[in-house]
Amino acid sequence: MSKKDQKDRDWKAEAKALRSEVKALQAQLGAVKAAPIAAAVARPAKAKPPVSPLAPAGGFPALPVIAGAEFASAAAGVRYAGRTDVMLARLCPGTAIAGVFTRSSTRAACVHDCQAKLKMQVPEGAGAAIIVNSGNANAFTGAAGQASVDAVTSAVAEALDMPASRVFSSSTGVIGEPLPHDRIVAAIDGLRGALSDAGIEQAARAIMTTDTFPKGASAEVRGKGGKIRIAGIAKGSGMIAPDMATMLVYIFTDATVAPDLLQEMLSRSVDDTFNAITVDSDTSTSDALILAATGKSRAAPIETRASAGAEAFEEGLRAVMEDLAKQVVRDGEGATKFVEIRVTGAESVGDAHKVAMSIANSPLVKTAIAGQDANWGRIVAAVGKSGAKADRDRLAIRFGDILVAEKGWRVPDYSEDAASAYMKQPELVIGVDLGLGRAARTVWTCDLTHGYIDINADYRS
């Protein structure tokens, strides 16, 4: 072999070895780059927290089937692997839709989209659908947020053969991260195949984030000519403060109700229910309450407030809304106490609400309750800072039936032992009478424990 041939062979061998080394390095680099993506796709689900001690006894209630409404849920891997995180509801043609939403100035793209669709003319004979994901709020995501909403709602519309204008979406979870909508779209065919009128409990579980239990409530009322059924589900545990709504809520009924009247009834019931709860004084970017009336009940249509059955239906609707609102408070992050704040004797309902929410949102009051400390002085301070009209010498404060202070001073027979014993109960009532008028307001809240810090300190991890 000539020296030239030997050099060529040595060069080729060296080049081959170098190419193998480059490929190996490229493979290693690719694995490093892919690691965050793989982690995002297959991030293991967090260990489930223990169920709140305030959870309703008996677990998730048996909800009635709502004719014309079907549900399905799936694990799409939006944030965690193996966790059910998407729910779909299909609603029959002729369904009326109403909604109320957060008034946050940084509300998510899905909220804007729902609000816009509720103002659109409904195509004759069109059904409707609701699709919800947990794990990602799709909020503060710029133009990409609306693109994700469009991708998901268009895919649902195509799968269910309905206009995209009748597909309403919600997202809940981490703020500021792009929604991996392709994972949701990929799950839609499976969701369509799994639709069932008995799937509402799994739908309630699919929308949970830091919730420790799924939330459901129902009512049955007598309409003219037949029964009307109402069933609702909700999620909510933290970032709960009234500015309608304070969570994600979906309520379904088989009643036939004129769309404008349905919206009027829903809006009228909000202040005494979802706008009367608070866990931590923080309003979410994604809060939504959607009410769907399928019109499948045999009861006569409810066209006006004077229609037969209208009053009973609205009372039933409000009862379901209040039940769900209270369940959210009972599942407040880290909560160990369910607290009702009753304010009476105010000059106006607005003043009564200010005082009630000032007490309910006070960290000093809430931590005293967590410590089972009958520190009524913190109630006095919360009333004073509320901005409502109040007179120190007309004020009366009660813990349950125990009068602790009135006429600007502690009552003469006040017993610290009795008040402290009362504070050990899991459900408390704090009463404040302003002594100025006849207006009143009741709100519901929970205590503030270290559990709240633990949950929120590592929420994104």
Task: List pLDDT tens digits, range 20-36.
Answer: 554 443 444 333 333 33
Rounded Cα gap, residues 46 and 252, in angstroms? 31
pLDDT in tens, 288-300: 999 999 999 999 9
For 21, 25, 420, the CA distances from 12, given in Å and listed in that order, are 14, 20, 88
Tell me the average pLDDT of the chain: 89
Contact indicator for 403, 438 with CB cutoff of 8 Å: no
**The tokens of 123 are what?**
């195509």
State the Cα angle at 424 between 423 and 427, rounded to 5°: 75
- pLDDT value of residue 244: 52
State how far the Cα of 403 lies from the Cα of 116, in Å rounded to an integer: 50
Taking CA atoms, 90 is separated from 126, 127, 162, 203, 230, in Å, by: 11, 8, 10, 12, 16
Asked whether the predicted pLDDT for residue 249 surpasses 80, the reply is yes
The answer to whether 358 is a known ligand-binding residue is no
- For the chain, give the percent of residues with pLDDT over 70: 85
Q: Provide φ and ψ at 92, rounded to 5°.
A: -70, 160
Torsion sign across C-alpha atoms 200, 203, 205, 208: negative
Which residues of the chain are in CATH 3.60.70.12 domains? Answer: 69-329
CATH number listed for the domain at residues 338-457: 3.10.20.340
Among 92-101, 328-337, 366-375, which stretch is predicted with the lowest mean pLDDT?
328-337
Of 153-162, 252-261, 272-281, 423-432, the range with the lowest mean pLDDT is 272-281
3-state secondary structure at position 155:
helix
Which CATH code is given to the segment(s) 69-329?
A: 3.60.70.12
pTM equals 0.87
In the chain, residues under CATH classification 3.10.20.340 are 338-457
Q: Indicate the pLDDT class of residue 45, thresholds 50, 70 and 90.
A: low
Asked if residue 393 has pLDDT above 50, the reply is yes
What integer is the mean pLDDT of 81-92? 95
Confidence label for 314 from pLDDT (cuts 50, 70 and 90): very high
**Quick one: which of 42, 56, 40 has its CA closest to 212?**
56
**H or E element that contains 217:** strand 215-223
Q: Report, as residue numbers or ranges, the catalytic residues.
A: 246
Residue 171 marked in a binding site: no
SS3 322: helix
- CB-based burial label for 23 (10 Å; 0-12, 13-18, 19+): exposed
What value does the mean pLDDT take over residues 413-431?
A: 97
The answer to whether the annotation marks 456 as part of a ligand binding site is yes
Helix axes 349-361, 363-370, angle to 10 degrees: 60
Between 265 and 3, where is the model more confident? 265
Task: Check whether 275 is labelled as a binding-site residue.
Answer: no
Q: Are 41 and 81 in contact (CB under 8 A)?
A: yes
